[in-house]
């Protein structure tokens, strides 16, 4: 045994009995703190963007609006979410498998690179040297330092992906677990593989773009769009895979939900890996560079097999909750298992809202807008940000928030401060984001453009009149957004306060205040015996989902059929 694996470097988690390597603890903490800082910056930017798009307030001037919008996109979609995912990769490898981190020192080098890259990028954006929005479409140009910052950040993330793979190898070789890796680790593995594919696309586009910004080569605008979205959209599938893993994880921690069928869940994860880089096509459906056969084949992820994967997880996760609850005696009727679930546990409520909003709003709108022809009435309108705020914010970010209420006691070993606020936080955030994303999508139905400072078009040569309903819808969107902002603010307050000023947990059993029920009163072990895998409640719910899906999908074909003939 080397020094790195000496038992002194490990502690045993009192809740899960997992053996946690000190380096894993420290790297998880560092990445989680960095993620929260990025969330704070992105969140402040979000409020400023919202208060500008709300025409009644129209807060920022045009230059600062686009600057802050760029900052919002980069801070949230790149820095917050990837830092958090790095923490998840350390957790799902070293912690879940009782292993040491393969190369802790390299982990710190990667972290330093990511922080450096993030700071460099933030600096160029705040000083107005990169007003190019999140997508930085060529030939709109930012300073070279912007692209270099992104490259450094991505290299750091890539190193962490390799450390994750290395840790899996170490755990296997040192026999720290029995048999196959747990499902949560398998899900994180798919996220890591997708991250590798995605970051390869990132290198393939940001390195040429960096050289272009130095005047050393040319970059074709359409090729840029295609390869950039191989990063931009495929990276959202890292988020999906990580989020689904967190669903399984929170299900296990909060109510001891079971895995119905490893084959089905793992098969669904594998579908993500196989078809995900085709998602670039979603952004090119009404582009001049590509033909219909290419568009149809790619936008459908090989006949919607990645959509099938999400629909499968959308069933297996709640069905796992249901079967677990029923096995513990909550067998009455169709929905006792759900009614008597711990709705006051912020980890549980966040998980459920994440599943519901991701599926019903994010999933349905995503597939519909990603249809080749329907994209004509969706592309670059507010329908698109409406869609992805339902997936990546209400889905991924909310799931990560729920997980945080378990990370604080189990990894930071502190009690959760302001616990009563923490309990309502997922509710505020989820309902706010639900209203926000629905209204945003609805406004887009009237053709209201995204990424636009002023939809009264002051200074334009011709006036533009939107449907009068638009003002009301945008107002409601703003209210939903502000409600979510309050939820986000509470999350940051609770997290920062708990981590830096919170009460340390004593060694030994975890009891007392400031702990979610999944920790203070862990789910009872399932009594021995034969338990039927009955999931009728879930089956009813997924058919409600399917009905909503079918309705929305065909309503959009109807909306499309009345516009001008185009061919």
Smallest gap from residue 295 Cβ to another protein (A): 8
Cα–Cα distance measured from residue 122 to residue 93, given in angstroms and rounded to the nearest whole number = 30
Nearer to another protein, 385 or 487 (CB): 385
Smallest gap from residue 336 Cβ to another protein (A): 17
The answer, yes or no, to whether the previous bond of 139 is cis (omega within 30 of 0) is yes
Cα–Cα distance measured from residue 148 to residue 210, given in angstroms and rounded to the nearest whole number = 7
Smallest gap from residue 287 Cβ to another protein (A): 5
CB atoms within 10 A of CB 24: 25
Q: Give the alpha-carbon dihedral of 94, 99, 101, 103, to 10 degrees.
A: -150
DSSP for 11-52, written as a single string: EE-TTT--EEEHHHHHHHHHHHHHHHHHHHHHHHHHHHHHHH
Residue 76 main-chain phi, psi, to 5 deg: -80, -60
Long-range contacts of 543-548 (CB under 8 A, 24+ apart): 545/314, 545/359, 545/360, 548/360, 548/364
Nearer to another protein, 251 or 481 (CB): 251
Asked if 308 contacts 271 with a C-beta cutoff of 8 angstroms, the reply is yes
Asked if 499 contacts 414 with a C-beta cutoff of 8 angstroms, the reply is yes
Smallest gap from residue 428 Cβ to another protein (A): 27
Smallest gap from residue 269 Cβ to another protein (A): 11
Nearer to another protein, 16 or 144 (CB): 16
Smallest gap from residue 357 Cβ to another protein (A): 19
Smallest gap from residue 303 Cβ to another protein (A): 4
Nearer to another protein, 3 or 460 (CB): 460
Nearer to another protein, 479 or 560 (CB): 560
Asked if 536 contacts 318 with a C-beta cutoff of 8 angstroms, the reply is no
Cα–Cα distance measured from residue 374 to residue 557, given in angstroms and rounded to the nearest whole number = 7
The answer, yes or no, to whether the previous bond of 3 is cis (omega within 30 of 0) is no
Smallest gap from residue 28 Cβ to another protein (A): 15
Nearer to another protein, 292 or 511 (CB): 292
Asked if 69 contacts 514 with a C-beta cutoff of 8 angstroms, the reply is no
Smallest gap from residue 253 Cβ to another protein (A): 8
Q: Which of 126, 141, 145, 142 has its CA nearest to residue 64?
A: 126
Smallest gap from residue 489 Cβ to another protein (A): 28
Nearer to another protein, 40 or 408 (CB): 408
Nearer to another protein, 449 or 489 (CB): 449
Nearer to another protein, 232 or 324 (CB): 324
Nearer to another protein, 180 or 511 (CB): 180
- Can you say how many angstroms the Cα of residue 268 is from the centroid of all Cα atoms in its chain? 18
Smallest gap from residue 315 Cβ to another protein (A): 5
- CA count, 13 A, side-chain hemisphere, 115: 13
Length of the chain counted residue by residue: 567
Smallest gap from residue 496 Cβ to another protein (A): 27
- Can you say how many angstroms the Cα of residue 15 is from the centroid of all Cα atoms in its chain? 26
| Backbone dihedral region for residue 457 (phi beyond 0: left; psi -120 to 50: alpha; all else: beta) | left
Would you call 170 helix, strand, or coil by DSSP?
helix
Nearer to another protein, 84 or 247 (CB): 247
Nearer to another protein, 123 or 539 (CB): 539
**449 strand-pairing partners:** 381
The helix-helix angle for 398-410 and 419-445 (nearest 10°) equals 160
Smallest gap from residue 410 Cβ to another protein (A): 12
- CA count, 13 A, side-chain hemisphere, 143: 14
Tokens 């001008």 -> residue: 564
Nearer to another protein, 471 or 486 (CB): 471
Long-range contacts of 61-65 (CB under 8 A, 24+ apart): 62/453, 62/454, 63/128, 63/131, 65/453
């Amino acid at each position: 045994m080397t020094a790195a694996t000496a038992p002194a470097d490990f502690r045993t988690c009192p809740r899960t009995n997992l053996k946690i390597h000190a380096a894993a603890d420290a790297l998880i903490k560092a990445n989680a703190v960095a993620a929260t800082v990025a969330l704070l910056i992105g969140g402040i930017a979000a409020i400023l963007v919202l208060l500008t798009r709300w025409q009644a307030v129209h807060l920022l001037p045009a230059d600062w609006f686009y600057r802050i919008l760029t900052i919002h996109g980069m801070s949230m979609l790149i820095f917050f979410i990837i830092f958090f995912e790095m923490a998840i990769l350390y957790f799902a490898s070293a912690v879940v498998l009782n292993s040491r981190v393969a190369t802790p020192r390299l982990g710190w080098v990667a972290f330093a690179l990511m922080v450096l890259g993030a700071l460099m990028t933030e600096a160029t954006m705040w000083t107005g040297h990169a007003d190019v929005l999140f997508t930085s479409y060529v030939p709109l140009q930012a300073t070279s330092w912007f692209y270099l910052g992104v490259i450094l950040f991505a290299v750091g993330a890539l190193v962490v992906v390799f450390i994750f793979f290395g840790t899996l190898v170490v755990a296997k070789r040192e026999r720290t677990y029995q048999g196959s890796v747990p499902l949560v680790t398998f899900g994180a593995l798919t996220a890591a593989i997708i991250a590798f594919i995605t970051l390869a696309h990132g290198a393939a586009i940001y390195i040429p773009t960096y050289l272009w910004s130095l005047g050393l080569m040319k970059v074709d605008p359409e090729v840029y769009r295609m390869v950039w979205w191989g990063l931009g959209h495929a990276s959202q599938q890292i988020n999906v895979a990580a989020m689904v893993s967190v669903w399984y994880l929170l299900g296990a921690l909060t109510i001891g939900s079971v895995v119905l069928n490893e084959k089905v869940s793992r098969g669904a994860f594998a579908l993500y890996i196989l078809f995900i880089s085709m998602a670039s096509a979603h952004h090119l459906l009404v582009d001049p560079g590509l033909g219909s056969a290419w568009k149809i084949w790619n936008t459908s992820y090989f006949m919607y097999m990645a959509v099938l994967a999400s629909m499968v997880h959308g069933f297996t996760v709640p069905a796992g909750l249901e079967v677990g609850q029923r096995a513990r005696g909550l067998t009455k009727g169709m929905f006792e298992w759900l009614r008597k679930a711990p709705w006051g546990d912020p980890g549980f409520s966040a998980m459920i809202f994440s599943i519901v909003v991701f599926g019903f709003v994010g999933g349905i709108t995503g597939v519909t807008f990603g249809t080749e022809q329907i994209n004509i009435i969706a592309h670059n309108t507010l329908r698109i940000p409406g869609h992805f705020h339902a997936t990546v914010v209400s889905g991924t970010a909310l799931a990560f928030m729920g997980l945080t209420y378990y990370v604080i006691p189990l990894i930071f070993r502190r009690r959760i401060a302001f616990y009563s606020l923490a309990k309502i936080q997922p509710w505020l955030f989820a309902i706010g984001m639900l209203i926000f994303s629905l209204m945003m999508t609805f406004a887009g139905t009237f053709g209201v453009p995204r990424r636009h400072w002023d939809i009264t078009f002051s200074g334009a040569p011709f006036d533009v009149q939107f449907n009068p309903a638009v003002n009301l819808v945008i107002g409601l969107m703003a209210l939903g957004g502000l409600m979510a902002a309050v939820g986000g603010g509470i999350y940051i307050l609770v997290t920062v306060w708990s981590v830096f000023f919170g009460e340390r947990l004593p060694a030994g059993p975890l009891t007392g205040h400031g702990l979610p029920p999944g920790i203070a009163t862990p789910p009872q072990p399932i009594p021995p015996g034969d338990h039927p895998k009955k999931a009728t409640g879930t089956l009813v719910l997924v058919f409600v989902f399917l009905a909503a899906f079918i309705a929305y999908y065909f309503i959009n074909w109807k909306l499309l059929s009345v516009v001008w003939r185009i061919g």
